[in-house]
Structure 1
Amino acid sequence: MSQPQGVAPAAVKCPNCSHEVRYYGAIHSAFFGCGQCWTFFEYPETGAPKKLRKFKETPNHSPVLAIGSTGQLEGRTYRVTGYMWRCEVKAPWYRWEEFQLHDEATGAYRQLAVFHGHWLLIAPTEEHYRPNQNGVVEVADTDYLLYNQYRPRILYARGEFDWNVLTDESLTISEYISPPLMLVRERDRTNHWFTARHLEPQEVAEAFGLKPEQLPERSGVGAAQPAPGQATWPQLRTFSLLMALLVVGTHLFLMLQGNLTLFSKDFLSQPASTAPDSVQHLLPPAALERPPVVSPSFEVPQRGGVSVNLWADVNNNWLELPFTLVNEQTGQQFAGTGNMEYYFGVEDGESWSEGNRDQDLLLNTVPAGRYHLNFYPTADPLSPYPLTFRVRVEGRATAGSNALLALAALLLYPGWVWLRRRFHEQARWENSDFNPYASS
């Protein structure tokens, strides 16, 4: 090249308008974009500069990172040497910016891309990957899913470049994501691979000495933007599953150790009135309240839950069984009410039924002692005949509802995090032609 060899920055003149384009890479830079007349040109080793393209439009804002500015990323000092504005050929409304970064220590180049406020730091790699037939790149630690595939168009370029950026328009670019990482394949006659990492805006702002509000406003979900709780989600998920298994296991253990039958007996509830059947239905409901029923005594061996299981031989009628569990030593009482009703029939040739003949009630923290049950039956006024009901009392009872409440409390926060991550992923893939959620 015939550029000056003095201390950077040096400059070359635009062949179209003679505006000086400053550059920093005297060895590698051969292509330049003029910010004055929008001309992209080559400055060869020998001979006159060649005009390659005059861009027709420019971004409607100034690049947030000025050419020539420096920043610290990943512990390295980078200088911004070039700026591009790009879009997809088939979807020109997808437009993004790319800044060429020059590593001041090694001379290596990186690209810093931003789309809708989402930043990616891109670097070439010597690795070569082979996507499978499902568009997945499998590596040791994770799988990268095909997210986007397109051909780029260069809308505008400014500054210096070590390659002719216009030739990128012949490439087919494929992006594979495993947030916060991305693999990028550029394909023409051969494949060239790049690795990329998502950067938070705060990280970019701090690197280049800017205020976060000076950066492009972030909208939507970025292709490689980590889902909420990305760093802690694996541990939270594992912990929650282990605790859920512990709750279920404890409940099953208590069920196996519990549910000791303390008492079981059938009773016959007689109607209070002895009026003939022909006039029974004419009597007021109170006339059909039934005499109390008292059970034999039984022992509750230890303090805990007591389950009262009720069943009644109801058919197209109902039986209500208020009861009290009475401690014969202390007089302490525990009350409950069972409601059994069952109806059935045939309508339009179809059989139907509704209701239940049984009901389970749980009395919590019943002290050990000797008890009996007092029942105060009330029956359907239209059923003035004896009704059989069965009572089974179980000690050391466990309530499935308690286990469900414990599980609900345990899984509430991880469930909320999971939903946020789910919605985040769905929003991410809405911009992809390879959306795995499209059919879900």
Structure 2
Amino acid sequence: MDHICPLCRTNNNEMAIDFTIEEFICSHCKNLITVGQSTQRKIVKKPVENVALEVGGKGVLYGTEYWVINIVIKKYGLDTFWREYSLKDKAGNNVYLSESDGHWVFLRPVDFAFKEFKYYAEANGKNYRWYETTPCTVYAATGFFEDKLQFGLATYKEYVNGTEMISREEYGKSVQFFKGNHISRSEIKKAFGVTDMPYRSGTGIVQPFYYNVKQCTNIMAITALLICALQLYVVTSRSNQTVFEQNINFADVTDKEVVSKSFTLSGGSAPLKVHAFSDVDNSWASVGLSLVNEKTNEVIYASKDIEKYSGYEDGESWSEGSQSEDFNLCGIPAGTYHFLISAEKEGGTTDPFKLGYRPQNADFSILKNNEGGFSLKNDKDQTIRTYNDLEVLTSEIILRTGLQNTIKETGKLDSILLNMTQEYGDPVNFEKNPAVNITATWLPVSFWNFGIVLVCLILFTVLSYWMKRTFESGKWSNSSNSPYSSN
């Protein structure tokens, strides 16, 4: 389609489709030319700032191929501008793209006048809330126009319902009606093959929220019900089950580990609670456990110290610690397992009298105890007697063994006793607390996980409604009829 400017003789042939026009703006001299006349009507400022499309540009929107036939920048007040792109398809149908602050609306003309009330309008059985009434003028324009381009004051009245809007454009006695919906920047870029788009700020008049809050709420509610049903099944179908229990003698695990019998866990992943008991009294014990998955050989290690101390000080008794400790191995899946167990206690497990002094042909042993005195253990009745006086002990040894009570024998015995070390531990308590009891219990699925998931679902839902309200409040911030009282 060729339109030669009668003033500068430029051939304005940007359009690839043919349609009847009444005016065009020369792309070279910017004069507004009425078709069939050789004089200018006026010089029109060319749209430049934030213009994304070009006259003659072609793109496919909603399955239909359109050409951009003109671009008009509208102005409201001193510094409010928006851009309108008129599009035409091969069948001669017109649609429009309106862009403001980087937000796009796709508009179609309608051939009926919707019902207007004080604060809303009704169209096709749907109510649209009155957003704003905006007087505006043409600031800049370019392209081809099927009717005369009007530069006087026009009035737009817009009504909004979610991501849809209807509007009425009034110029003098001429009134046009439109219905529009939000269209994303990505759709415009893809349809027309453009890369540079106007910077987006604020919230568009029909911009949708980032996701469907009502749909997400329904999904969350269904998810919560399913989780509740699953938790109910788990709770009713399973109870605490002791899967392992054994007394481990400290003497059996000295410098080595004991391999337990195998046990099987069935069901969903759940905590394995371990209870360890040792008859400690003013002493400590330590237990190390390795849970081995016999199928995957995966190992989970845990250790625990058991200690209890008590005494009497300043007229009052005191106590701290406990003879038992509990801990959990969390998230253990179903499978067959065994434990590798190691343990130790204060004072060790070796009889210290076996390393002590034993006179020839005697039925007793002697060692130097922790307090610096001496302890004598009788082999016959296993009784232990403590001596803090070296002379008394020497006399007892001579009496029991029949040694000659001479200076030489006494001196020799004193030398042996005085040179003994104190590294044999507590001779009185080494036989106390010989074992540690370990019990493992397979627990139902923890209510903590169940509660945390439900709380997260509720928080997400509440946060979504709050975010959407904030979003919608921003959308209506420029409206004279906002439904949000804070605006």
2:94 alignment partner in structure 1: 109
Q: How many residues align?
A: 274
For 2:39 and 2:167, locate their aligned partners in 1 and report how far apart those are by CA, in whole Å.
Answer: 31
Provide closer, same or farther for how the CA distance between residues 97 and 138 of structure 1 changes in structure 2, counting only shifts above 3 A: closer
Q: Which of residues 61, 72, 79 in structure 2 aligns to 1:73?
A: 61
Q: Which one of 205, 208, 211 corresponds to residue 223 of structure 1?
A: 205
- Contact kept in structure 2, 1:14 and 1:34, CA below 8 Å: no
Provide the residue aligned with 2:469 in structure 1: 422
Q: Is the 8 A contact 1:183 1:193 kept in 2?
A: yes
SS in 2 for 1:182: strand
**Cα distance change, pair 113–13 in 1 and its aligned pair in 2 (3 A):** same
Q: Of 60, 73, 89, which aligns to 1:85?
A: 73
Shift of residue 69, structure 1, vs aligned partner: 1.7
Aligned residue in 2 for 1:22: 13
Structure 1 residues 117 and 62, CA gap change in structure 2 (3 angstroms): closer
Q: Deviations over 1:106-134 (max 9, x none)?
A: 11111112111111111111232112222
Counterpart of 2:106? Answer: 121
Q: Distance in 2 between matches of 1:177 and 1:414?
A: 25
Q: Is the 8 A contact 1:185 1:192 kept in 2?
A: yes
Percent same amino acid among aligned pairs? Answer: 23
Structure 2's unaligned 5+ residue stretches are 229-323, 325-447
- Corresponding residue for residue 163 of structure 2: 180
AA in 2 matched with 1:43: V
8 A contact 1:113–1:121 mirrored in 2 = yes
Report the Cα offset of residue 402 of structure 1.
12
Q: Distance in 2 between matches of 1:402 and 1:111?
A: 53
1:51-99 deviation per Cα after TM superposition (whole angstroms, max 9, x unaligned): 33323x44444732122121010000011121111112xx232201112
Q: Describe how 1:132-281 pairs up with structure 2 within 5 A.
A: 132-137=117-122, 139-140=124-125, 142-166=126-150, 169-187=152-170, 188-189=172-173, 191-211=175-195, 214-230=196-212, 233-238=213-218
| Distance apart, 1:404 and its partner CA | 9.5
Change (3 A) 1:246 1:143: farther
Corresponding residue SS for 1:202:
helix
Contact 1:228 1:417 in 2 (8 A): no
Normalising to structure 2: TM-score of the pair?
0.50
- Name the aligned partner's letter for residue 185 of structure 1: R
Partner of 1:392: none
Structure 1: stretches of 5+ with no match in the other structure: 1-8, 249-331, 333-400
One-letter code aligned to 2:120: G
What residue in structure 2 maps to residue 274 of structure 1? none
